[in-house]
Amino acid sequence: MCRVGLWDVKSYSLAHSLILSCRLPHGHLNPVDFLLRELRKERYCEREVIDGIVGDVQMLVQRQEAERELNERLQKMQADKQTAVEMAATLQRTLATIDAEKRKTERSAIRLQKDKSALKKTLDKVVQRVLLCTVA
């Protein structure tokens, strides 16, 4: 069987000579009909290939879109994580400051308690002297 794609034929005379020289399978009466049938088969195959390529391109576009969306989500999550890390560091510094102020306040409270006890003792002594002076 002689398979000739019409895109390979350069001129009409060459096409005519090819048609005449083709051995056709049994049952074909006309070489032109045979070539047209072959052309239809080739076009069908070409359409299948094109459809496959179009499907692949569509799938790639969908994957790229999904990848772009995932990258955007990842960048947002990374930014959120960075914000959370910075906030945690700020809160830790604030907590350390509050703890330092608490210890300072506790030390002041202890000093005030000691001062209060000392003043009470002093007041008791003064009251005793005044009472002793007024009685004597």
Mind listing the pLDDT tens digit for each residue in 24-72? 555 555 788 888 888 899 999 999 999 999 999 999 999 999 999 999 9
Residue 15: CB atoms within 10 Å = 16
For the cut 50, the answer to whether the pLDDT of residue 74 exceeds it is yes
Q: How far apart are CA 99 and CA 59, in angstroms?
A: 58
Contact indicator for 38, 7 with CB cutoff of 8 Å? no
Q: Residue holding tokens 């960048």?
A: 75
Q: Which long-range contacts (CB under 8 A, 24 or more apart) does 38-45 make?
A: 38/3, 38/4, 38/5, 39/5, 39/6, 42/5
**For the chain, how many helices (H) and strands (E)?**
2, 0
**3-class DSSP assignment, residue 5:** coil
Task: Identify the pLDDT of residue 60.
Answer: 97
pLDDT one-digit tens code per residue, 78-136 = 999 999 999 999 999 999 999 999 999 999 999 999 999 999 999 999 999 888 888 76
Segment 39-50, tens digit of pLDDT:
899 999 999 999
Domain extents in the chain:
6-135
Side-chain-side CA neighbours of residue 81 (13 Å): 6
pTM confidence score? 0.50
pLDDT score at 1:
40
Compute the CA torsion angle 105, 108, 109, 110 (nearest 10 deg): 130
d(CA 31, CA 25): 10
